[in-house]
Structure 1
Amino acid sequence: MMVILALWGFLNGYTTSRTLKFFGTTDWNFSAIVAAFTLPLFISVTLGFELALAWLARTALRYSFKANLLRIVGWYLLNGSMCYLGAYRGYMQKAVQIPSPVGTVRRPIPAMPYHMSILVVAPVLGFIQFASMYAEFSYLLDSVFRSHMYAMFGFLLMNMIMQVLIVSLLAILQTYVQLCYQNYEWWWRSFAVGAAGALWMAGYALLFLVTKMKVSDFAGDASFIVYIAVFIICYGCAAGAVAVNASYYFVSKIYSSIRKD
């Protein structure tokens, strides 16, 4: 477990450093700080809030405050040091080059039809993502919150790989259609398309809480909501990152084939 945490910490710092360098950041220490503290700080604060609610409700805590504090400190020390190393190694690499020259004059974007609005595209493509993982997500909720036995880890791995492919293909499709309408602002739209599946997951989780969870106290409901919120936000950010990278790879490939005069 420690090796996996260290490996992902290094990759986190390396990827963050290279991404921020692509956007013009010159301080790799800033990249290391962003990589090391953004996600751990969010999770620590959120779970700390859940522990505070459990303490106020006088419910039995799964772990003591001291044990949780030691875990957080250990996580920061290991993850932070590896993120720092990864950020340094990533910043030492050459910056990612834009495949074709970019004009200095900002070209106006034509009006797009209503069905290409992000308020229409994101929910529709997000539903496709959620439909492909509905069964697996339902099994996970039953396993974690209703103490059902879960033994489909191979299927879970296959579903994760399938999700990466589905999110990538949907993002590329959306970006291609958007470029056909001469709209070159694809970065945040790609992220929204990738993260839209998290909204459907949140809706299903609330439905699961109302219909299947037999919780009679406020602390139990709050604990469920906090853990689900952490999972869904992390999934949304991860899926959005996959979508952005897939769209960037697609755009770089099609524009790198343009002849430079």
Structure 2
Amino acid sequence: SIQVLYSYEVKWVESTLAWADRWDVYLIGSPDDDIHYFAIVNSLMIVLFLTGAIATIMIRTLRKDIAGYNEMQTLEEAQEETGWKLVHGDVFRPPQVSPMLLSVFVGTGAQIGTAFLISMVFAILKFLNPLKKGQTLSTLLLVYVLCGSVAGYTSARLYKFCDAKSWKQNTLYTAVALPGALVAIFCVLNVFLSMAGAATAASFLTIVALFALWCCISAPLVFIGAYFGLRAEKLEVPTKTNQIARVIPELPWHVHPLVTTILGGILPFGSVCIELAFIMSALWLHQIYYVMGFLLAVLIILGATCAEVAIVMCYLQLCSEDHRWWWKSFWNCASAGGYLFLYSIWFLSSRLDLVGILPVVVYLTYMGMISILFGLFCGAVGVLASFWFNRTIYGAVKVD
């Protein structure tokens, strides 16, 4: 046998490129950039157009309604009230079904949105490296934990408005419900991964660290936020609530809860579906996602879209003399999480090539958790937007 020796020579050349931009040669200028940017801009333009159109229609319609109602009061016409003004004595009636659960959901959704917004700002300021997905995930988790006070404050203020008394239980559920459910699912899944000898199984110290973050940081911050939320004054509304609830007439088909829930989530999901394809590829196909500025813009557009959808659905519901808008406003937007999960199933069948049952279970479990978070955020925006809308329109009319 002949022994062959190989040698090589390295020549270092000084570069003027900044250290923070050293990966731009891989991140910028790829063949898909034109398609990527066009898809994002196209999605944003469509959503902005729809948002502007809906806002214009609503403003013109509401101005006509408010002017008509106030003119009737001025002329003291003895006409029967019609439309959404007819339910002014019941529109701010607290939800009769699980006000505590609604408060927990809205508070948790506010926490999710705040955490994601702050994380995107960090990414835009280049505090996060898109190549280090573990660092990004850790930052998201840490920011979510530190935003626990947002959940406690929002949940407590909404629960206080509902005149409920079990504020300790409400605060505890806000601190425990979502983190506890996600940690429990993660631990069960991790047991199966460990039994299968998977490299993605988390170590025992990682699980202990998650529990420490939850119990020592997140939960106390939720209680601190709830303390300030309960000490704050009760949210004021422009109308008084009647002692006896108004009888709700038979509703037309377009405001049926099932119909509005199915239709309500289409537009919020549609505002992110194109961008979602790139995010899913980064999560599951080992690609790199780096356009954080566009992602922040999509997040803002998503919030605006959820608010617009919730307001329109709430307006149509009130015009049908149905004052039970609390839970409907939540589910009308939260159903976008269901569309996200359906999209993940399509992505699994068309883009991924997973072998075995366990990888499929892991994928569906993680996407189910992401869909729940997405739905909670959209639902929280829907409830808060509808509440603001109702306070605004009923504060603009003269009510006896």
What TM-score do the two structures reach when normalised by structure 2?
0.62
| Structure 2 equivalent of residue 173 of structure 1 | 312
Give runs of ≥4 in structure 1 deviating > 6 Å. Answer: none
Aligned counterpart, 2:271: 132
Alignment of 1:87-106 (within 5 A): 87-106=226-245
Quick one: which of 354, 360, 363 aligns to 1:224?
363
Name the aligned partner's letter for residue 92 of structure 1.
R
Aligned with residue 118 of structure 1, among 233, 257, 261:
257
Could you tell me the percent identity over the aligned residues? 26
Aligned partners of 1:55, 1:3: CA distance in 2, in Å?
25
Query: SS where residue 307 of structure 2 aligns?
Result: helix
Structure 1 portions without partners, runs of 5+:
none
Which residue of the partner structure matches residue 242 of structure 1? 381
Kindly tell me the number of residue pairs found equivalent between the two proteins.
Answer: 261
Query: 1:103 is paired with a residue of what secondary structure?
Result: coil
Q: Retained in 1: the 8 A contact 2:193–2:200?
A: yes
Contact 1:40 1:76 in 2 (8 A): no
Query: Hey, what does 1:45 align to over in structure 2?
Result: 184
Cα distance in 2 between the residues matched to 1:205 and 1:6: 26
Q: Distance in 2 between matches of 1:205 and 1:83?
A: 32
Deviations for 1:9-47, whole angstroms, at most 9, x for unmatched residues? Answer: 111111111111111233543333122111110110111
Q: Which moved more, 1:99-108 or 1:222-231?
A: 99-108
What amino acid maps onto 2:260 in structure 1? V
Q: Does 1:158 align with 2:297?
A: yes
Which amino acid counterpart does residue 135 of structure 1 have in structure 2? I
Q: Which amino acid aligns with 1:121?
A: T
Return the alpha-carbon distance in structure 1 between the equivalents of residues 234 and 345 of structure 2.
43
Instruction: Give the match for residue 208 of structure 1.
Output: 347
Q: TM-score, normalised by structure 1?
A: 0.93
CA drift at 1:58: 2.7
Going from structure 1 to structure 2, the CA distance change for 1:5 and 1:106 (only over 3 Å counts) comes to: closer
Deviations 1:113-140 (Å, cap 9, x if unpaired)?
2232222222223112222111111111
Report if aligned partners of 2:329, 2:386 keep a CA contact under 8 Å in 1.
Answer: yes
Q: Is the 8 A contact 2:161 2:234 kept in 1?
A: yes
Structure 1 position 68, deviation (Å): 1.8
Q: Kindly name which structure, 1 or 2, has the bigger radius of gyration based on alpha carbons.
A: 2
- The superposition leaves residues 81-102 of structure 1 with CA deviations (integer Å, 9 ceiling, x where unpaired) of 1111111111111111232011
CA offset at residue 197 of structure 1? 1.1
Amino acid aligned to 1:126 = G
Instruction: Give yes or no for the alignment of 1:184 onto 2:310.
Output: no
The 3-state SS of whatever aligns with 1:226 is: helix
* Deviations 1:206-259 (CA, angstroms, capped at 9, x unpaired): 011111111102221111111101110111111111101101111111112233
Paired amino acid for 1:108: V
Question: 2:239 is paired with a residue of what secondary structure?
Answer: coil
Query: What does residue 55 of structure 1 align with?
Result: 194
Distance of 1:27 and 1:131 partners within structure 2: 39
- Gaps in structure 2 of 5+ consecutive residues: 1-138
Judging by fraction of residues, say which structure has more helix. Answer: 1
